[in-house]
Amino acid sequence: MEKRLMTFPQILVENAKSYGDRKTAIREKDYGIWQSYTWKDYLEQVRDFALGLASLGFKRDDRMAIIGDNRPQLYWGLAACQCLGGIPVPLYQDAIHKELHYILDHSECRFALAEDQEQTDKLMGLKKEVPRLEYVIYDDPRGLKKYRYDWLIAFTDVQEMGRKFAKENPNYFMDEVNKGQVDDLSIIVYTSGTTGNPKGVMLTHRNIVTTGKNAIEMEGLREDEEVMAYLPMAWIGDHIFSYCETFVAGFTVNCPEDTSTVMHDMREVGPTYLFAPPRIWENILTQVMIKMEDAARIKQKMFHFFLNVASRVEKLRMAHNPVPLGQKILYQLGKFLVYGPLVDNLGMRDVRIAYTAGEAIGPEIFEFFRSLGINLKQVYGMTESSAVVSIQKDGDIDPETVGTPLPELDIEISDMGEVMYKSPGVFQGYYKNPEATKETLEDGWVHSGDAGYLTKHGHLKIIDRAKDVSRLTDGTMFAPKYIENKLKFCPFIKEAVAHGKDMDFVATFIDIDYGAVGNWAERRHIAYTSYTDLAQKPEVYELIYNEINRVNKSLSQDEQLKGAQIRRFLLLHKELNPDDGEITRTRKVRRKFVAEKYANLIDALYTGKDSVDVEATFTYEDGRSTTMRANLKIRDAETF
Amino acid sequence: MNEKKEPLLRAEDITITFGGLMALNHVNLEIYPGEIMAIIGPNGAGKTTLLNIINGFYKADKGRIFFEGKELDKKMKPNRIAALGIARTFQNLALFRGMPTLGNIMIGRTMKMHSNIFSQALYWRMSEKEEIEHREAVEYIIDFLQIENIRKTPASMLPYGLQKRVELARALVAEPKLLLLDEPMAGMNLEEKEDIARFVLDANEELGYTIALIEHDMGVVMDICDRMVVLDFGNKIAEGTPDEIKSNPKVIKAYLGTAGG
């Protein structure tokens, strides 16, 4: 059983040999039809492209940037790059000029693979500023017909060059693949840091393949899994699930037609193995709740009744308590009437394993999906650990923890309460950044930056970012993200920022969910003109006020956090936006930045004022800008 | 660059009056293959009237129209003219409201269907092959206009900007030799306008369509068209490249406002 550890290209060659034309490796919906590629096709596509790169002068250790939505061509490009001993550098497709400039320059990419005209345009704009970038290769030729540069080449043209090259150098491809060592770097993943410039996490084939293998073993993943590739390729999670694990386990990856059709495509595919960051689970929940508000009254009644049943049953199941017969029967009835159809509608009927990762998930959101019968589990990890540190095991799920450590992974808690780990998946360091490496990596141990501890059942519990956990003036523990997640369970709240460090009490900014609240307002004939206007409606304040009280009630049940209830809140005049630097691209709040930018608002929250003036400048696409003034109300919440 | 080519469409001396109003006064117009031509002018200048005459909704009192060198018979019905390869969209939306996007676009292929209603009902041989062929063409345009996510949404549920896009899709699948667009960007916000401008450019560059469009937004039009014709009270007052039009004093007076403002 124990096979020699191989590099990704070597695994690909093996898969093509053992599965050949019998098994689909990757599917893509194009022109409304699912197009399948077997493992043999996969290898051929990768080989042609790799040899095309070789004929363009691609050498070992060359870096290639990859930017775009999840397309088979981009995964092939990534594999092709590794076949030649190169190092792929995947980039976020919505990254702005400045970020791209930094990463392209820092990683010294000679080649770039772009999905379409949009991404190509960005790279073209950067080419003058980043002279090392020699070739830009694009997949979708739409709109690029008029661009004529000798450094801009179509993906298929590169493959054509590759086929020519293969005739003259028949052994070149396999020679290069065999030259690869498992301890060679396989990828550099730039992390969207909450502070400073992104850092390039260097990972080897051994790091990623071993982590993937261990996860597959722990979770019992099979070669007949179906997975959707719809999260950014630049996120280590996608790299593990849609690339590493599909190679190692041999299952099928499905690329959606378009980012806007993911939910629909998912219904068609029926994935068995699913991963999504909390944001997406939240979104799905919000969608379900909105749709239910539009449903007939009897359906609403039925939905809420059986949701309560499911919630009670799930609580018992998670606590390993027996479920009374009456509840069991009701649950089965609910499954027939509500949960089954709902889960099917979400395209999750066949899901055996679903993960949430990337950030802590609100306990209520988590419980909602589990109670419907979806095997949703939390995964904890980070880029530095090749994505996975711990996973909740089937049948051993404590919603307050992130599960048990992966095989071959050791966890220790530092004196400061920080989680540290060591495993074969631990990264090699930050690219060209020895200071940051020294701070994070110590004798093979990674400082996770998260505060947490191991429970007596051996589960890892994460409280918050180590640097974010603080205390109120009276000494009560204040974990902002914990509170924010509780707030965000409400479908009307999109984002929340809790303040309280060295303060007398906790106060929050709330960002309403424009879609959900807008819908709510329309139904009640509340007219509004804009986000700002809607957010300041007294009815909306009342709506959020009730939600805050609900959160406070739930906080009051925790002995430790009882004192950290929300006393005051205000609704922001604009949505927090990565373009304005308030949250990261993965939607983590940048606390320091927000605290500085909105210092006057925070001040107003703590000085007892009942409203505050705010001024914001918007720049339109045509360069004009307007200044908007608004008066934000501040309200007190009830505490328990 | 186009001057030496034979025009795809030539309208000669077009004149039409509605009651006492002279809507078009001896207007001449050429559209060359492969170009984007814009017809601009203030409200009531006769732009839409001109399109209506080209595709046979109105009969001109005077004047002749040549398409691909052949004169169009005055008695020709709009559907016959469409069959020749002249497609258009309308200033006001003309979609089937209850029909999904896919069906609405499929209608654009009607001209190209050969099997009759009976064999279609049986979905047999010719019809099956034909259906697949048409669906492929439709899917290509759906991909082209990036409307995959609304394939199954009824037209009436779509926001205005997307309805306009579906209408454009329906005109494109007809694979016309000449595409007439009547204010494709009317009532849109800047982002929607830029999207449509991009699609119009791509349709011209990638798919090789010859396009004549009416548009009010001068900024967008100047950026995308090769040539412009300016109408004012039924008279053609100028013709040329966007740069020539920009500096033409007659145009500035009639349309763009006073020079130097």
pLDDT of residue A152: 95
pLDDT digits (tens, 9 = 90+) for B150-164: 999 999 999 888 999
Q: Which chain A residues touch B206 with a CB distance below 8 Å?
A: 142-143, 145
Residues A579-583, mean pLDDT to the nearest whole number: 83
Please indicate, yes or no, whether residues A54 and A142 belong to a single structural domain of this protein.
yes
Q: Which residues from chain B sit within 8 angstroms of residue A32, using beta carbons?
A: 135, 139, 142, 148, 151
Residues A237 and A96 placed together within one structural domain of the fold: yes
Same domain assignment for residues A304 and A320: yes
- Examine the domain organization and report whether A85 and A229 are in the same domain: yes
Question: Average pLDDT of B223-234?
Answer: 91
pLDDT digits (tens, 9 = 90+) for B91-150: 777 889 999 999 999 988 887 776 666 666 666 667 778 888 899 999 999 999 999 999
Q: Does A32 touch chain B (CB under 8 A)?
A: yes
CB pairs under 8 A between A and B: 37
User: A425: domain CATH number?
Assistant: 2.30.38.10
Do A252 and A219 have their domain in common? yes
Contact partners, residue A613, CB within 8 Å, separation at least 6: A629, A630, A631, A632
* Residue A588, pLDDT score: 81
How many independent structural domains does chain B possess? Answer: 2
- Is residue B134 one of the residues assigned to a domain? yes
Looking at the fold, whether A479 and A601 belong to one and the same domain comes out as yes
pTM, two decimals, is: 0.80
Higher pLDDT, A470 or A158: A158
Residues B145 and B165 in one domain: yes
- pLDDT surpassing 80 at residue A528: yes
Give the residue-averaged pLDDT of A442-469: 86
Instruction: List A residues 248-287 in contact with B (Cβ-Cβ < 8 A).
Output: 257-258, 260-261, 264
Chain B residues within 8 A of A622 when measuring between CB atoms: 190
pLDDT reported for residue A560: 66
Domain of residue B103, residue span: 96-175
Q: Are B78 and B7 part of one and the same domain?
A: yes
Comparison of pLDDT for A113 and B2, the residue scoring more: A113
pLDDT of residue A330 exceeding 50: yes
- pLDDT greater than 50 at residue A1: no
- Say what the pLDDT of residue A485 is: 81
Best CA proximity match to A264, nearest among A235, A224, A300, A228: A228
Q: Which of A223, A251, A272 is the last residue of a domain?
A: A272
Quote the domain boundaries for residue A563: 470-636
Verify that A285 and A317 share a domain, yes or no. yes
The pLDDT score that the predictor gives to residue A622 is 67
Stretch B49-57: mean pLDDT, rounded? 91
Same domain, A359 and A262: no
Q: Identify the CATH number of the domain in which residue B15 sits.
A: 3.40.50.300
- In tens, the pLDDT along A353-363 reads 999 987 778 77
Of the three residues A465, A488, A510, the one that is the final residue of a domain is: A465
**Same domain membership, residue B202 and residue B236:** yes
Residue B2, pLDDT > 60, answer no
Residue B91 lies in a domain: no
Q: What pLDDT, on a 0 to 100 scale, did the predictor assign at position B259?
A: 44
Residue B255 has what pLDDT? 66
pLDDT at A194: 57
Query: Mean pLDDT score of chain A, rounded to an integer?
Result: 90
Verify whether the Cβ–Cβ distance B206 to A622 is below 8 Å: no
pLDDT in tens, A224-275: 999 999 999 999 999 999 999 999 999 999 999 998 899 889 999 999 999 9
Write out the two tokens for A436. 């940051």
**Domain C-terminal end among B118, B149, B175:** B175
pLDDT: which is higher, A400 or A223: A223
Q: Residue A145 and residue B206: Cβ atoms within 8 Å?
A: yes
pLDDT reading at A618 higher than 80 = no
Same domain membership, residue B116 and residue B167: yes
B208 touches chain A (CB under 8 A): no
Into how many domains does chain A fold?
4
- Domain identity same for B169 and B192: no
- Please check whether residues B208 and B254 belong to one and the same domain: yes
- pLDDT, one tens digit per residue, over B129-143 is 888 889 999 999 999
CA distance A622 to chain B (A): 9
* A581 CA to centre of own chain: 18
Whether residues B29 and B152 share a domain: the answer is no
Domain shared by A338 and A434, yes or no: no
pLDDT at position A471 is 81
CB nearest to B148's CB, from A142, A145, A258: A258
Query: What's the gap between Cα A344 and its chain centre?
Result: 23
Q: What's the rounded Cα separation, in Å, for the pair A185 and A63?
A: 11
Residue B39 lies in a domain: yes
Please state which of the ranges A261-275, A306-320, A622-636 shows the lowest mean pLDDT.
A622-636
CB pair distance less than 8 Å for A143 and B205:
yes
Cα dist. B242→A559, B24, B184, B222 in Å? 73, 23, 19, 5
Cβ distance B206 to A142 less than 8 Å, yes or no, reads yes
Average pLDDT over residues A334-355: 93
On the question of pLDDT at B261 being above 60, the answer is no
Distance CA B159, CA B143 (A): 19
Mean pLDDT throughout A207-235? 94
Domain stop point among A415, A446, A465: A465
Q: What is the mean pLDDT of residues A64-78?
A: 96
Name the pLDDT band for B260 (thresholds 50, 70, 90).
very low
**Nearest-CB residue to A31 (from B143, B190, B202):** B143
For residues B80 and B185, membership in a common domain is answered with: yes
Q: Which residues of B touch A146 (CB under 8 A)?
A: 205
Is A278 in contact with A364 (CB distance < 8 Å)?
A: no
In a domain, A3, yes or no: no
Contact residues, chain A, for B147 at CB < 8 Å: none
Q: Could you tell me if B68 and B122 lie in one domain?
A: no
Residues 115-144 of A with CB under 8 A from B: 142-143
What is the DSSP pairing of strand A252-255 with strand A24-30? parallel
pLDDT reported for residue B121: 67
Tell whether B52 is covered by a domain: yes
Residue B72 shares a structural domain with residue B109: no
From chain B, pick out residues whose CB is under 8 angstroms from the CB of A621: 190-191, 194
pLDDT in tens, A12-39: 999 999 999 999 999 999 988 999 999 9
* Per-residue pLDDT, B186: 84
Token pair in block for residue B131: 């259906």
- Say if B30 falls within a structural domain: yes
CB contact, 8 Å: A622 with chain B? yes
Task: Report the pLDDT value the prediction gives residue A265, as an integer from 0 to 100.
Answer: 92
Best CA proximity match to A222, nearest among A253, A239, A245: A245
**B261/B259 Cα distance (integer angstroms):** 5
Whether residue A1 lies inside any domain: the answer is: no
Nearest chain B residue to A31, by CA: B139
